[in-house]
A and B are shown apart, each in its own frame.
Chain A
Amino acid sequence: MSTAAVAAAAPRRLSVRSSLSRNRRWALITSYVFLVIFAIFFLIPPYYMVVTALKSDAEVAHMATNPWIVADGFTLDQFKILLTQTDFLIFFKNTVIVTVSVVAITMVVSVLAAFSLGRMKFWGSSILATGIFLTYLVPDTLLFIPLFQIVKAVGLLNNYWGMILVYPTLTVPFCTWIMIGYFQSIPKELDEAALIDGAGHMQMLTKIFIPVALPGIIAAMIFAFTVSWAAFVYPMAFLYSADQQVLTVGTVTSLIRGDVYKWGMLMAGALMAAAPPLVIYAFLMDYYIAGLTAGATKG
Chain B
Amino acid sequence: MADTVQTWSPGLQGVGLQSSTSRNLRLFMRRRSTIAFLMCLPLIVIIVSLVLYPACYSIYLSMLNKAQTRFIGLDNFRFLLSRDVFLMVMEQTAIFALSAVFFKALIGLITAHLINNLPVKGQRKWRGMLLVPWVIPLALSSLGWWWLFDPTHSAFNYVLSSLGFEEVPWLSSPYWARFSVILVNVWYGAPFFLIMYLAALKSVPEQLYEAASIDGASAWQKFVHITLPMMRNIIAITVLFSLIVTFANFDIVQIMTAGGPRNMTHVFATYSFMLGIRSGDLPLGAATSLFMFPILAFAAIFILRGVRKRGREIG
Determine if A122 and B54 form an interchain contact, defined as CB atoms under 8 angstroms apart: no
A32 → chain B closest CB, angstroms:
8
Q: CB < 8 Å: which of B115, B140, B187, B293 contacts A274?
A: B140
A225 → chain B closest CB, angstroms:
11
Residue in chain A with minimal CB distance to B306 = A296
Residues of the B chain whose Cβ atoms lie less than 8 Å from the Cβ of A31: 114-115, 117-118
Determine if B135 and A184 form an interchain contact, defined as CB atoms under 8 angstroms apart: no
> In the bound complex, how far is the Cα of B251 from the Cα of A251, in angstroms?
13
B308 lies within 8 A of chain A by Cβ: yes
Residues of the A chain whose Cβ atoms lie less than 8 Å from the Cβ of B8: 188, 191-192
| Total chain A interface residues with beta-carbon distance under 8 A | 111
The proximity string for A residues 46-72 relative to B, scoring 1 for CB distances below 8 Å and 0 otherwise, is 101100100000001101001110000
Residues of the A chain whose Cβ atoms lie less than 8 Å from the Cβ of B190: 42
Q: A27-B117, A226-B135 are in contact. Are A142 and B248 (CB under 8 A)?
A: yes
> In the bound complex, how far is the Cα of B108 from the Cα of A50, in angstroms?
26
Q: A42-B130, A43-B129, A248-B139 are in contact. Are A146 and B55 (CB under 8 A)?
A: yes
Q: CB < 8 Å: which of A39, A127, A139 contacts B248?
A: A139
- Using C-beta atoms within 8 Å of the partner chain, give the interface range for chain B: 35 or more
B305 → chain A closest CB, angstroms:
11
Determine if B114 and A34 form an interchain contact, defined as CB atoms under 8 angstroms apart: yes
Determine if A289 and B195 form an interchain contact, defined as CB atoms under 8 angstroms apart: yes
* Main SS at interface, chain A: helix
Determine if B58 and A145 form an interchain contact, defined as CB atoms under 8 angstroms apart: yes
Determine if A52 and B40 form an interchain contact, defined as CB atoms under 8 angstroms apart: no
Q: CB < 8 Å: which of B34, B39, B54, B148 contacts A48?
A: B148
The proximity string for B residues 130-144 relative to A, scoring 1 for CB distances below 8 Å and 0 otherwise, is 111101111111111
Q: CB < 8 Å: which of B37, B47, B195 contacts A292?
A: B195
Determine if A137 and B244 form an interchain contact, defined as CB atoms under 8 angstroms apart: yes
B6 lies within 8 A of chain A by Cβ: yes
> In the bound complex, how far is the Cα of B268 from the Cα of A113, in angstroms?
33
A257 lies within 8 A of chain B by Cβ: no
Q: A42-B130, A121-B33, A130-B2 are in contact. Are A109 and B42 (CB under 8 A)?
A: yes
A144 → chain B closest CB, angstroms:
8
A15 lies within 8 A of chain B by Cβ: no
B191 lies within 8 A of chain A by Cβ: yes
Determine if B51 and A169 form an interchain contact, defined as CB atoms under 8 angstroms apart: yes
Residues of the A chain whose Cβ atoms lie less than 8 Å from the Cβ of B159: 68
B226 lies within 8 A of chain A by Cβ: no
Residue in chain B with minimal CB distance to A38 = B111
A41 → chain B closest CB, angstroms:
7
A219 → chain B closest CB, angstroms:
13
The proximity string for B residues 262-303 relative to A, scoring 1 for CB distances below 8 Å and 0 otherwise, is 000000110011001100001001100110110010011001
Residues of the B chain whose Cβ atoms lie less than 8 Å from the Cβ of A229: 137
> In the bound complex, how far is the Cα of B150 from the Cα of A49, in angstroms?
13
B208 lies within 8 A of chain A by Cβ: no
Determine if B144 and A173 form an interchain contact, defined as CB atoms under 8 angstroms apart: no
A203 → chain B closest CB, angstroms:
12
- Near B by CB (< 8 A), chain A positions 150-192 give 150, 165-166, 168-169, 172-173, 176-177, 180-181, 184, 188, 191-192
Q: A113-B39, A116-B39, A129-B2 are in contact. Are A145 and B133 (CB under 8 A)?
A: no
Q: Which of A3-11, A81-89, A210-218, A265-273 contacts B (4 or more CB under 8 A)?
A: A265-273
Determine if B114 and A188 form an interchain contact, defined as CB atoms under 8 angstroms apart: no
> In the bound complex, how far is the Cα of B11 from the Cα of A88, in angstroms?
59
Residues of the B chain whose Cβ atoms lie less than 8 Å from the Cβ of A78: none
Q: A109-B43, A122-B37 are in contact. Are A232 and B138 (CB under 8 A)?
A: yes
Residue in chain B with minimal CB distance to A50 = B144
B5 → chain A closest CB, angstroms:
5
Determine if A293 and B61 form an interchain contact, defined as CB atoms under 8 angstroms apart: no
> In the bound complex, how far is the Cα of B252 from the Cα of A230, in angstroms?
13
Tell which of B135, B237, B276 has the most Cβ of chain A within 10 Å.
Answer: B135
The proximity string for A residues 95-117 relative to B, scoring 1 for CB distances below 8 Å and 0 otherwise, is 00000000000001110110111
The contact sample of 23 A-B pairs, CB cut-off 8 A, is A27-B219, A35-B126, A38-B114, A45-B141, A46-B144, A48-B147, A109-B46, A112-B43, A113-B39, A117-B36, A128-B44, A131-B47, A137-B241, A149-B57, A150-B50, A169-B50, A172-B46, A230-B137, A232-B139, A233-B273, A274-B141, A297-B203, A299-B310
Across the A-B interface, give the 5 residue pairs with the lowest CB-CB distance, nearest first: A299-B311, A230-B137, A139-B248, A120-B36, A141-B269
Instruction: Apart from A35-B114, A126-B3, list 9 A-B contacts with CB within 8 A.
Output: A109-B43, A116-B40, A135-B51, A137-B300, A184-B6, A236-B277, A263-B153, A282-B128, A299-B314
Binding site for B on A (CB under 8 A): 27-28, 31-32, 34-35, 38-39, 41-46, 48-49, 52, 60-61, 63, 66-68, 108-110, 112-113, 115-123, 125-135, 137-150, 165-166, 168-169, 172-173, 176-177, 180-181, 184, 188, 191-192, 195, 201, 226, 229-230, 232-233, 236-237, 247-249, 251-252, 263, 266-267, 270-271, 273-274, 277-278, 281-282, 285, 288-289, 292-293, 295-299
